[in-house]
A and B are shown apart, each in its own frame.
Chain A
Amino acid sequence: MTVESHQASTKLTRRGFLKATGAAVGVAALGGAGATLAGTGMQTAHAEAAEQTFHSGCRGNCGSKCHQKVTVRDGKVVKVQAMDYPDGDEGWRRLCVKGQTQPQRQYDPDRVQYPMKRVEGTERGAGQWERISWDEAIGLIAQNMGAALQTGGGTSIGFMSSYASYGVLNGATGGYMSFAYGRFITAAGCTVLGACSDYAQMHVQMLGFGQNGNSADDVVNSKTMIAWGGRPDESDVHIWHYVCDAKEKGIPLITIDPQFSSTAAHSDWYIPIRPGTDGALMLGLVNYIAANQLEDADYMRAYTQAPFLVKDDGTFLRMSAFGVEPVQGGINPMTGQPIIIDTPAVFDEADGTIKALGTEQQAAILGTHAGADGTSYKTCYQECLDNITEYTTARASEITGVPEEDIVKLAEIYAQGGVWNLGYQGLGHHVNSHHNYKNLALLHAQTANYGLPGTAIVRNTSPFTGISNYMPFMYGRMGANVPSMALPDVLETKMWGQTPVDLQVLWVMNGNPLCCESGRLEMIEAFKKVPFVVTADVSMTDTAMYSDLVLPVPHVYETEDYDSGCPTPYLMYFQKCVDPLFESKSDIDIMRLVAAALQMDAIYADGPTDGDFIKQIVEAETTKQMGVTYDMLASGEMVRSPLSPVSHVEMKIGNSEGERLKFYMETPTPRIVIGQEVADYEKRPYFMLANEAYWDNPLRSQYPLLGCSEHAKYHVHSQTAFTPWLRELEPEPVLKLNSQDAADRGISQGDYVRAYNDRGDVVLRVLVTDGIMPGVVGIPHGFREDQYVSGHAQNLTSRVMNDFCYNNSYYDFLCEVERYEGSVE
């Protein structure tokens, strides 16, 4: 049977949601189960049936991971509330506007209901689907995977994921960290096509420097809060009440943002800044603080890399250079390898000699110092300062558009200490972004704004420690680790580094890259070149539309899972509340079937039930002494992580090398090493212009507007794109355009506009506002193709990445906007 495509239904839906009765139209058009009742607008009556509650949560992964109390009546989920937290922990209780809509998302007309195959002879993306059985679907997969394994080996099967739906059974953290996918990928040596979003921050700040922040309730201990590269009001609303507590204590809030967010509206000082220039502002502040000796020298000496001496090759002078044998200092818990301690040398101002860190009276943080053999070394701080002299406050002002006197004022606030930065990934969406995290680290190092109460370099999204042991995910090794946006290159060269990657099968799970990631049009073309594309998803995503086979997976309430991420002190276990709807099967059940069809059953043999696998995570040799059992989690009680005994977490800072605040990368290592050259500047705080979106780019004569976007309050990736209540609040995507830019183009409030550049275009309604800087446009994130009049917001963006951290650059584009005269019907 040929099924009228989901694309048709969602096209109806786009129009429909603009009318009050839209959702019913969408359901009726689907022709699926329950359509008639909803189509008439009638509902089953409230029954006096018994209710049952379950403990589940949001797997959407905005980072908040809200524990939810889910009420089931007559076999259906009818209510979602925030789980109650024990006394003293109420501040971590959380549920947002999107959480309130979960019953609608679960019973969404947009859900994939049964396995579907692209109709033979139709173009990929044409939207013609044939309903098939699971047997046929698994048969097709086995046939394609089997052939790929024989001809191209494991790397010819690629698994692509993003950040949606974390979980140790069915999720795909890091591309393969789950039983469902990790076992298969590592057993067959497949290619992982991992997400690129947020890697500027993750590669430098989180993994490179190991920096994190105090838990959000610490903001009340600060002197000044700065929302720089983040808007807690929208993208992390659950920490906002702590910000309010601090404001009520009289602690000022400053917002640095190209857009006047709600956080900005609540701020004492709003500083608009040109997108992509934050790094220059940071260096302007650093230089002003250094030039005026406003540093906290004692802090820099004691707790940062500032006094370390740098050799000509950029590495630190260490005591092995003076014949001191390195010693072993325990085992690195991440690598399992011994930690070798080769103590850095510092220059002691007390006696003018170079000696081992920890033996000096007063280490120099500035200057060039000669050792006994006459060789001179700069301190690390001096080395950094000498390379950023160009960025004076005047130059920073030119680049950022922030008045020089404001930069001076901000520097003086920073220098007073007690600065708590509420920002996060907003600094991370340009090609030049990863430098921001080095620059910010240097600024916070100068001003003692890290590792002390009431300070933070970044808000901590996951301050508490969960219980996990990732080893059971592995059955061998992955074949190749490719950043997902490099897909077009891999298809072209059939190589990744030195590894042959002849992709025959592409499997997309836990993500909707053709909607949510940048460089969309190039990625679609790449998808079309892969012989066989499978998407496993809850709903009919843009990515599913460009697949050959679409597999229905359950909503979080329909399967059990466990997520070791712990943004609150309680372990995130998801109880199964109802059976999977329609014909959906969990990712792990699908992979069990695929493995069986390929005679690879052995890889899942130790987990006949899902619970057996979760047991391996929490009751492993390394974790069982914590005392948490699978049965405790499965009971549905709130189980506190024994690793997080207190509700308030502060980063620790110390004098040993490993405990110090880092802003310098002694041996900068790319996210994925494939023999690429690493530029010298990767070591140091640095500024470079964005790839495309910078003020003096000659391309602005053609495309004058700089891109920008946000993690908006009604969206988590594209997961709530069609959720009816959210679309009542925000019916359609809008492009934010400054009032002056609109007037210059003859555009009025409510008009439809076309935004375009050489890559592509999008037609959508405009929101004319003074809440965005002149010269900047804000594109929506999280709407799907059919919700635009035509095109897609991500058609404007590029997949240009640096090969150091392979980061999505969502904001790094220029475009022009014109009034759209065509029909929007």
Chain B
Amino acid sequence: MNPIAWLGELGRAVLNLLAAFGRVALFALDAVSHIFRPPFYPREFGVALLNIGWLSLPVVGLTTIFTGGALALQIYAGGARFNAEAVVPQIVAIGMVRELGPVMVGLMIAARVTSSIAAEIATMKVTEQIDALVTLSTHPMKYLTAPRVLAALITLPVLVAVGDIIGIAGGYAVATQNLGFNPAAYLKNTVDFLEPLDILSSLVKGAAFGVIAAIMGCYYGMHSGRGAQGVGRATKSSVEAAAVLILAANFVLTGVFFSL
């Protein structure tokens, strides 16, 4: 391929990428703006709270308890190389609260909730239910997107807080049962070491990841192609996009909180 054609291809790819970012950004702004503009749909919001928040608790709990336990073992094994085994409670706490809790919960929500939202809305689109909503004078962004985004914004920080606590509990269980740590000392070290900014960063990350997960599900659902293949592609793409954006947002937010 000659260099000019190669540059053309590169330029086209970059422009397509920027256009995609633009479309998602406009969709996100539209979705968020509908949260504040009536009419509101409390029933849809309640269902979304239940689906995104309450029903995600088991997967969040299981994911974070195993992560916390594994983290304690890793830190103990790594710390032993330079006689720093005693830092297990502190590193488990900071690792779970600042990083692993929000990221694990965010990724599990991307897998569980983003896929579910995308598949549901995409199916509604291919079966003309979205058109039916419009003909029934109901704005799909208000009825489908706004309640889900608001519910994710509210529930994700709570899920992350629960995940942080369960993750720390997993580390505590492993450290006290297998590694010989004193339970009271472990808890004291954990509580003493954590700072309000650590908890704030965890909750802010949770809220940001929740919005990303819900918006990606809604965006790909609303822009699904036709038929079963369209629904499948929308679901797959929504999870990929949500996971990548969550990790990118995590990097950015970590940098922001690191600089505070």
| A and B together in one complex | no
Binding site for A on B (CB under 8 A): none
